[in-house]
Structure 1
């Protein structure tokens, strides 16, 4: 069974999911059901047959955001040349599970956190094309709102400092504190664009060294154009990172702010998931090591 990652998450065993599917979608009841143990932290994910994926929120907060997630998924589907999830159906609470849930189309490919991508220049070019394609989507008058990544770096200061306090035995906190102080002096001058919002390796699918698809698109929406540049630090090094940067065609300040957003995400992953999700914790540590080796401020 997957370790508990959050204090408020609900248990989602395979038998419960099978019962939900049988009750709500009886035509799919005979399909094999397989738990997918990736690095995701928001949803319990199960492959249903060959072509479907069942996604069930683990926590009340993400569950409340399911309508927005489905709308974002539909907004992006078919808008770039790279596959993204297609909403197939939505299920109701039941069988002791308290939230609505969704079924999306399966996308073939290997998650990038299961293969080496540091030098993957073709992948870097593809992912940059995806970032540009998402930016080209209409804002429809929307602007960034809320406290998540992609707005004002200063609003994350309390969280980052809490991470420092909890990471004394895991990271070189004095060096990271000094770097964070420099990030806080960065201006934010770019207008919002549409971003994916969470381009971590587990959401990037690869086939033959190329981008095969992008998952977890529920965070799609207006944000700092630098936000999706986190992929440059989570996934790439050296020439591959430079190819990603060039392909994204942003300014120098956006690139620096992209490093800052990667820092904000990574510093929380290390301590928070050190026991419950070691792969996510390792991602955070690896990303921070890349940033410290090449600080842009």
Structure 2
């Protein structure tokens, strides 16, 4: 399956920069390796980057990031994506796009930290700081965030379709029980800031430590449970315990975190339309991890 935006190349990016930001026209433009599914990302010289949405449904993220990331940055313990300018449609490219500061480091996907438990604690501290930032007037979860931060029930029909397709291939009884437990709980507190796509590809590492968090395209205010799914998509059991202990989520929030993981893993493994099949191995592993993760006595009281 071709990723969205694979026809958005460096030549187009150079032309857009030259037309709209001639002060940077002399800087080289290079496609970033593994630049993600939602955007095509380019180096612009050594200190800037370009983010061009790969499809219409990702385009709303540009305005959101331009508006809110400068507001959130002072409240966070690590650097985040820093918008510098916003580009406009042009040269056949139909959406707004961003110029941002380049953040050094390799993604955790490319350079996995050796001390994963410490990395998990650092990430938990970042997420807690994000949640403490004032959420007044922040964008509520919805279509723009692919319902991250919102009600899991939006994905109930496709989750049950995936369960039907995978009957006999995975432990659908356990998966269904986790899904039902997730749907049975709600976030009863005021909405908080939610990153929406906490994944190894959006976490930068230097010297083995988490150094930056990027790609806030699904940023919203709502229920933070979706941000905790990395516990099963990337962490081992020790790191997962450290992550949970630092976050100290209530049992319902942890159940919904499992629900978000079950939903995404099931639809990818079942091959439902719209899934990123390039991540099939990752989501097979995540499904196995979350299905095997039995809460032990005391786990609900970190």
Q: TM-score, normalization: structure 2?
A: 0.85
- TM-aligned CA deviation for residue 79 of structure 1: 2.0
User: What residue in structure 2 maps to residue 75 of structure 1?
Assistant: 71
Contact 2:152–2:183 (CA under 8 A) maintained in structure 1:
no
- TM-aligned CA deviation for residue 39 of structure 1: 5.8
State how 1:81-120 maps to structure 2 within 5 Å: 81-117=77-113, 120=116
5+ residue gaps, structure 2? 297-302
Task: Identify if the C-alpha distance between structure 1 residues 246 and 38 changes in structure 2 by more than 3 Å, giving closer, same or farther.
Answer: same
Contact 1:272–1:281 (CA under 8 A) maintained in structure 2:
no
- TM-aligned CA deviation for residue 120 of structure 1: 0.7
Task: Identify if the C-alpha distance between structure 1 residues 18 and 137 changes in structure 2 by more than 3 Å, giving closer, same or farther.
Answer: same
Contact 2:141–2:148 (CA under 8 A) maintained in structure 1:
no
Deviations 1:201-244 (A, max 9, x none): 11111112211100112322212132221122222112211111
5+ residue gaps, structure 1? none
Contact 1:122–1:209 (CA under 8 A) maintained in structure 2:
no
Deviations 1:235-287 (A, max 9, x none): 21122111111111222222222121222233334436999662x33222221
- TM-aligned CA deviation for residue 96 of structure 1: 1.4
Task: Identify if the C-alpha distance between structure 1 residues 184 and 135 changes in structure 2 by more than 3 Å, giving closer, same or farther.
Answer: closer
Q: Distance in 1 between matches of 2:236 and 2:215?
A: 24
- TM-aligned CA deviation for residue 122 of structure 1: 1.4
Name the SS of the counterpart of 1:11 in structure 2.
coil
User: What residue in structure 2 maps to residue 16 of structure 1?
Assistant: 12
- TM-aligned CA deviation for residue 127 of structure 1: 0.3
User: What residue in structure 1 maps to residue 185 of structure 2?
Assistant: 187
Contact 2:109–2:200 (CA under 8 A) maintained in structure 1:
yes
Q: Does 1:128 align with 2:124?
A: yes
User: What residue in structure 2 maps to residue 220 of structure 1?
Assistant: 219
Q: Distance in 1 between matches of 2:202 and 2:273?
A: 17
Q: How many residues align?
A: 291
Contact 1:119–1:237 (CA under 8 A) maintained in structure 2:
no
Contact 1:117–1:235 (CA under 8 A) maintained in structure 2:
no
Indicate the larger mover: 70-79 or 131-140: 70-79
State how 1:168-179 maps to structure 2 within 5 Å: 172=170, 174-175=172-173, 177-179=175-177
Q: TM-score, normalization: structure 1?
A: 0.87
Name the SS of the counterpart of 1:116 in structure 2.
coil
Q: Distance in 2 between matches of 1:224 and 1:154?
A: 13
Q: Distance in 2 between matches of 1:221 and 1:293?
A: 30
1:66 paired residue among 59, 62, 67: 62
Moved over 6 A (4+): 273-276
Indicate the larger mover: 211-220 or 128-137: 211-220
Contact 2:179–2:259 (CA under 8 A) maintained in structure 1:
no
Contact 2:81–2:101 (CA under 8 A) maintained in structure 1:
yes
User: What residue in structure 2 maps to residue 201 of structure 1?
Assistant: 200
State how 1:128-167 maps to structure 2 within 5 Å: 128-140=124-136, 144-146=140-142, 148-164=147-163
